[in-house]
Amino acid sequence: MIKIANAPCSWGVLEFDLDGKAAGFEQVLDEISETGYEGSELGDWGFMPSVPDGLKAELDKRNLAMVGAFVPVFLKDRTKHTAGAEVAVKTAKLMADAGYTDAFIVLADDNGSIPERTLNAGRVTSEMGLTPEEWQIFAEGANFVAGEVKAKTGLRTVFHHHCAGYVETPSEIDQLMALTDPTLVGLVLDMGHYQFGGGDPLLALVKHQARIWHIHFKDCHPGIAANSRTEGWDYFKSVGNGVFCELGKGAVDFPAIVKELHNQNYEGWITVEQDVLPGMGNPKVCAQRNREYIKSLGL
């Protein structure tokens, strides 16, 4: 059975240090529940209660499950791997101790920290990528973090390809999947990031079926993406201008994706992510419309 969650980033709670004040966790969880979702992701460490009983109590009172937690690590640098694994294990332990043993660590690059990749998000070239040696280090780090999480908490890890990081384009995702241990590192296929990164997420859903353990529903507005490329916007300006629009209003073919998910008998979580930054709009209204759109697809 497919279950639908939302995430704090849809309320402007992101790992990036941006202008404006985002909502608190009580409001976010209230509105996730009120708009018809069954679960939430954790958000940054400390956004929600960071003790197991407190976290479980807040979710239980709203009949929500915990789906996963985003953990960015600068995997290109081997000296950052141990500290990154410690954060991932601490985060995974919180979720596991609260009883969410099916939740994921959503591992990602330290997106937005690499100037060239951030400036060219949505239009990166191969010259901006990792060298063969750097790829080995990157994959080694992903395997190490996922291995530590699994050994110490039992939770699984999925890698989140992400614009403004070193794993954005279809070929970069293919490379990472080829270099990582398929028993340790899964893939969370994010439809909007894959589309903005130059690919067709429906093709990725088929190609990487065996590695896709989790899914993010995000849309990508083709006109805004085109403007980003012609105007030379960086990642943050693209997001602020609404490149990740409401579901069904962009280029992602969600009806075909849902059909393929049924063909594959996918039975996991789908988390909606629409980066509604402070001042961009009403997150609850967007979340409601996104949920209604997904219902129109039969989910």
Domain that holds residue 254: 3-296
Residue 20 has pLDDT above 80, yes or no: no
At residue 4, the pLDDT reads 98
Mean pLDDT, range 156-165, rounded to an integer: 98
Assign residue 186 a region (left: φ > 0; alpha: ψ between -120 and 50; beta: otherwise). Answer: beta
Query: Tens digit of pLDDT for each residue in 92-132?
Result: 999 999 999 999 999 999 999 999 999 999 999 999 999 99
- How many domains does the structure of the chain reveal? 1
Residue 71: which CATH number?
A: 3.20.20.150
At residue 249, the pLDDT reads 96
Residue type at position 270: I
Query: Tens digit of pLDDT for each residue in 237-254?
Result: 999 999 999 999 999 999
At residue 60, the pLDDT reads 98
Residue 19 has pLDDT above 60, yes or no: no
Burial class (CB in 10 A: 0-12, 13-18, 19+), 65: middle
At residue 12, the pLDDT reads 83
Residue type at position 204: A
